[in-house]
Amino acid sequence: MLPKISFSKLSAPSKGTVVIFADDALNIGPTASGVLSAADGLLTRAAGTGSFTGKVNTVLDLIAPAGLDLDRLIVVGLGKASAVADLGETDWTALGGVVMGALGSSEAAEILFELPSGDVEADLAATFAMGAKLRGYTFDRYKSKSGDDKPEKVKKLSIGVSDAKAAKKAWETADAISDGTLLARDLVNEPANVLTTLEFAKRAEELSKLGVEIEILDEKAMKKLKMYSLLGVAQGSEHPPRLVIMRWNGGKKDDQPVAFIGKGVVFDTGGISIKPAGGMEDMKGDMGGAAAVTGLMHALAARKAKANVIGVIGLVENMPDGRAQRPGDIVTAMSGATIEIINTDAEGRLVLADALWYTQDRFKPAFMINLATLTGAIIVALGNQHAGVFSNNDELVGRLSEAGEATDEKVWRLPLSKEYDKLIDTPNADMKNTGGRTAGSITAAQFLQRFVNDVPWVHIDVAGTAMSSPKTEISKGWASGFGVRLLDRLVREHYEA
C-alpha cells in the first residue's frame, strides 16, 4: 500500500513507532538522543549482541524497548561515520525504501530525519519520502480482498525535519515524479486483456486533467499519413492501433519542444513468427517504453515543468491471424522507405519507425528520445542493471548518463556504425527488419536510425529494465517504472527555464 506522507518540525515523540538513524559508530542525531536518554545504553547493548552494526540499509528493530514508552523503535544504519554527510540522493531514496520495508505491519511511524551531526537538507527528506512511496507500491488490483493475501493497511509516515516548509515544497515535485513512476508501473503490470490499445489510449487521455493536450490518431488517420510500417504490425489484431500524442506546454510559447517516443506493443506474441510459450506472459510488458513516456508526461505536468514537451506513443498488439503480416512481406513506411519483413517478432522497430518519423516531421523537436522494450539481446548484454543507449549525439547521451547516475536509473552506451548498418540491407527492399544472429540490439538501433534525420536522438532499449526487473529497496519487482525519473531529471537539469 502507498503510504500517506506528511512533514512536520522535528520533535521528540514519546509514543508509537519511531524511526531513527545511526552510523556505524552508533552515533545518532540530537533529537533521537533526546528520545533515548531515558533508556541508557540501549543502543550499545543491542549492538553488543552483534545484531546491529550500523551498516547502510540495515535495520535494528526493537519492540517495546525497555525504559521507553514507545511501541517500537526502528534504528536504520547509515554506514561509515566519516561518510554520512556524503549520503546523496540515491542513498536516501534507498533508505526511504528500507524504512518502508522495515515497518511491516506498523500502521504509523514517526521518522526523525536527521544525521548524527544534525540537520539534513529538505530536498533529501523529499527524496527519502519518494523511496518510501515507491517501495509501498504493490500491484494488487486483482487480488480478492480476503484471506491471508489481503492488501496491507495504509501507513502514515510522519517525517520530522528541521525545515518542514521546505520539505513540503520539495515533496510537491518529488511526489509528482513518484506518481509518474507508479503510473508507468501500473501500465506495465496491467494484463493485455485489460490494457488493450484503446484502454491504453484512454488512460493517456486522463492526463488532460493535468493540462496535457491529447490527440489520438486512429487507423484512418494513420493510413492517410501512410504509416504502413506501424499498421502492418497491428493488422493481425482485433484491437485497432492508435498513435497518441501528448503535449505539455510549460515553456515559453516559441521554445522548441523536446520529444519522447515510446514503443507500446500491448502484447507481443511474435505474430506469425510466434514466440515459444515459456514466459510469453511477460510480453504484456512490451509497452514499457510507452508506459515510461506516459508516466513522464504525468510527472512533468503534475510538477508544472517549465518546458515544452511532446510525448508520442505507438499502440499496437502483435498477433498471428489470417490477416496478420507475413515474413517476406514488404511494407512502405511513412518516410517512403520500404522494409522487408524477415521476422514478424521484430515488430517494435516497425512501430517506432513511423512514430519517430512523424514526430520529427511534425514537431521539429530539439531532440528525440525513444524508449522501447526492443530486444532480448540487450538483456544478454547488460542484464537488468543498465538500459542500453544508442545515439547520434555525444552531448545528449552524456547528459542522459549523468541523469542515470543521479537517479540510479542507469544507462550504458553501445555503438552505431556504417558496418552495423549494412547488416540490415536486403536485395528485396531498402532494408529488412532483422540483422541476423549477432549484435541484435545494435542492428535494431541501426534500423531506428534510418528514420532519424539531423535531430539529436537517443534510443533507450529498456527490455531488461522496464519489466522483469529485480527487487530493489524501492521496488518489489517486475515493473519498475524505469525511465520516468531518468528523463524527468534530464529535462529538469537541462531543458527548463
Which residues are known to be catalytic? 275, 349
User: Nearest to ligand BES by Cβ — which residue?
Assistant: 376
* CB nearer to Mn ion: pick between 347 and 461: 347
Check residue 345 for interaction with Mn ion (CB under 5 A). yes
Check residue 373 for interaction with ligand BES (CB under 6 A). yes
- Closest C-alpha to 492, from 403, 372, 387: 403
* CB nearer to ligand BES: pick between 370 and 434: 434
Instruction: Give the C-alpha distances (Å, rounded to integers) separating 397 from 268, 269, 312, 469.
Output: 29, 32, 20, 23
Which residue from 268, 340, 409, 473 is in contact with Mn ion, where contact means CB under 5 A? 268
Which residue from 106, 158, 343, 426 is in contact with ligand BES, where contact means CB under 6 A? 343
CB 287, CB 197: distance < 8 Å: no
Check residue 179 for interaction with Mn ion (CB under 5 A). no
Check residue 90 for interaction with ligand BES (CB under 6 A). no
CB 155, CB 120: distance < 8 Å: no
Residue 434 interacts with, from Zn ion, ligand BES, Mn ion, none (CB under 5-8 Å by kind): ligand BES
Strands 368-372 and 330-332: unpaired
Check residue 340 for interaction with ligand BES (CB under 6 A). no
- Closest C-alpha to 429, from 450, 415, 399, 412: 450
CB of 356 to Zn ion, least distance (A): 16
What is the distance between the alpha carbons of residues 300 and 306, in angstroms, rounded to a whole number?
9
CB of 374 to ligand BES, least distance (A): 6
What is the distance between the alpha carbons of residues 448 and 341, in angstroms, rounded to a whole number?
15
CB of 273 to Mn ion, least distance (A): 8
* CB nearer to Mn ion: pick between 398 and 436: 436
Task: Please work out the total of residues on this chain that contact Mn ion, with binding judged by CB under 5 A.
Answer: 3
- Closest C-alpha to 296, from 267, 261, 331: 261
Check residue 345 for interaction with ligand BES (CB under 6 A). yes
What is the distance between the alpha carbons of residues 439 and 376, in angstroms, rounded to a whole number?
11
Check residue 286 for interaction with ligand BES (CB under 6 A). yes
Check residue 110 for interaction with Mn ion (CB under 5 A). no
**8-state DSSP, 148:** T
- Identify which range of 167-175, 250-258, 264-272, 358-366 contacts Mn ion by CB under 5 A: 264-272
Check residue 110 for interaction with ligand BES (CB under 6 A). no
What is the distance between the alpha carbons of residues 366 and 364, in angstroms, rounded to a whole number?
7
Q: Residues 6 or more apart from 60 whose CB is under 8 A from it?
A: 22, 43, 46, 47, 51, 52, 74, 75, 76, 77
- Identify which range of 102-110, 177-185, 245-253, 265-273 contacts Mn ion by CB under 5 A: 265-273
- CA torsion, ordered 117, 55, 22, 69, to nearest 10 deg: 170
CB of 315 to ligand BES, least distance (A): 14
Check residue 434 for interaction with ligand BES (CB under 6 A). yes
C-alpha cell at 178: 513518484
Binding site for Mn ion (CB under 5 A): 268, 345, 347
Binding site for ligand BES (CB under 6 A): 268, 286, 343, 345-348, 373-377, 434, 440, 463
